[in-house]
Amino acid sequence: MRFVWAVVAFVIAAAMIGAGIAQRTVFQGPSETSATVQTEGTTAYTLVDGSVLTSVPGAQTLRVEGDGAVFASYGRTADVKAWLADVPYTAVTVDGEGVVQTSAVQPTVTPVSTGRSPVDSDLWLDEYEQTGTLSTTLQLPSDMSVLIASDGTAPAPANVSVTWPIDNSTPLSGPLIVGGGVVLLIGLVLYGLGIRHVRRQRRPRRKGLPLPVTEPISTVDGESKGVVSESPARRGRGTRRALVAVPALGVSVALLAGCSADAWPQLAASESPSPTPTVVVPEGQFPPAVTEAQAQRIVSRVSQAVAQADASLDANAAAQRLSGPALAERQTNYRLRAAISDRPALPAIPAEPVQIVLPQTTGTWPRTLMTVVESTDTTTPTTTIMMMTQQTPWEEYKASYVGNLEASTNLPELAAAYVGATQVPPDSSFLVMAPEKVAAAYADIINNGQNSASYGLFDTANDLLLTAIQDNKTKRTDELNQTGAGTAQISFEASAGPASPIALATLDTGAIVAVNVYESDTAKPTNADAVIKLDNNPAVKALTGVDQSATGFTTTYSDQVFFYVPSQGSDDQIRLLGYRSSLLEAKVSP
């Protein structure tokens, strides 16, 4: 019976081990699948739609082959299509049956430019450049697409493929092989026990007779007589039986050595993600214009471009990343630095660390982005707040308002970067004051102080800019009285600047509002024979090109001011958050 069970064990072991090996060899499926796209190579751009990338679950390995420069980037599908709206391109999509197909798409708007390079566009979430062949692994959702090009002029690379991994793990092969080895070992033990039982039954059986008297055994020529000795062959049989199981065990170990982790069931419990605060995004709200990583890259590019423009005093270079009041102040600064050797440069725009990112939620253009960046310069620590705008898909983000936050400034509660904020219209009635009226109201406070109708709406007690403006008025008046006592007079006037306000909503339904205010002071002689000289004012002299005037001079400063404006019905006052004040222009009075 032991032999029967041993044979059964051998059969079961062979079946289990064979099944385990078959799962890892002949029955194991492919480890990946791929889709190859061969375009005609007639357009400068190829758009691989998100439906293609997500047609198979898992990470996507993109491979592009070309003869020269190979460029690939990815972004939101709507953004990429908007960037391509003025040029023909090849679209790679999937039909209703999941078959990859290509089609030519013609421009839908008037071409903005020809031969536009896709490199370093602010729309891309990331981009890659290689020569000849480009390969990268992505994990993109269905609402993102990949743009492929060479240099924006030459035809895009024609050979494109996307590869996805396939789960071909065999979690039962390991247990089957191990189990088969154990059953094989049991069968060998049973087989050995069966042989032992048979041999015992074949031995001669002696009857119980009286034993003869034992006598000494003599030896002749060193050989034993009358003694039955165990032959060497018989002594070795027990050892060979003990070693019968070794080859079988070795086979199982060898088979297990070739099994990887995917040959076993994954029983380890996955780590539970830590709870995160729930953020409720309003239904139908557009996604934020940029991601946090995009914003950090944009800030870095703005910082680098402005630093290069500052070093070369190149206003055209500065215009690549600045606009509005932020550009105007640097244009004046470059003129002054070119004429006055010791004229200091304006504070640099720091690149990192970016502390706050507040993008506008929108699907159209223009788009707005607010950032707060701390300076890493320990000698002049500053915190810079910026409002940046992207006017069209083909333009880059440009900083139009740049100011410094005071150390004691408390920003209102803002939405997370991945949620974004709505842009408040200039004429909004949901705030205690419409954004388009803030600059004029603040200018009226500068001009009239407590007599201004808007004085009670602003937190003037903690307003450092008002204090600085009043100190400057006193200083300028004292200087004029010392140099031209009785022969000259000075007047001051503030007004709303020409730049449009920018406002982004806060979580308490208020808004951060950036506005432009002009401060002008006019010095005129009061005596017909007197003149205003510029001996101690090289900046005005450099801007006007004269050193004295019988009609006087008008000097204008530009203030870029950031306010927190509460919502309608709130008891809070409009609060200054930060500002930047700089000389804008000077001219001879008429």
Model confidence pLDDT, tens digit, residues 510-523: 999 999 999 999 99
Arithmetic mean of pLDDT, 491-517: 97
| Predicted pLDDT at 96 | 82
Domain ranges of the chain: 1-29+168-197+248-254, 32-165, 285-421, 424-590
Mean pLDDT of all residues in the chain?
85
pTM of the model: 0.80
Residue 23 predicted with pLDDT over 80: no
Residue (of 148, 159, 180, 186) closest to 44 by Cα position = 148
Q: At what angle do helices 245-257 and 2-24 cross, to 10 degrees?
A: 20
171 vs 545, more confident? 545
Arithmetic mean of pLDDT, 217-239: 46
142 vs 375, more confident? 142
| Predicted pLDDT at 421 | 97
Structure tokens, 575 = 């609060």
User: DSSP assignment of 236-259, as one string?
Assistant: HHHHHHHTTHHHHHHHHHHHHHT-
Beta strands in 81-167 (DSSP E): 89-94, 100-105, 126-138, 144-149, 159-165
Amino acid at 148: I
Arithmetic mean of pLDDT, 94-102: 87
426 vs 166, more confident? 426
Find out if CATH 1.10.1740 is the number for domain 285-421.
no
Q: At what angle do helices 464-483 and 435-448 cross, to 10 degrees?
A: 40
Residue 141 predicted with pLDDT over 90: yes
| Cβ atoms of residues 519 and 525 within 8 Å | no
Residue 243 predicted with pLDDT over 50: no
Residues above pLDDT 90, as percent of the chain: 60
| Cis peptide preceding 366, ω within 30 of 0 | yes
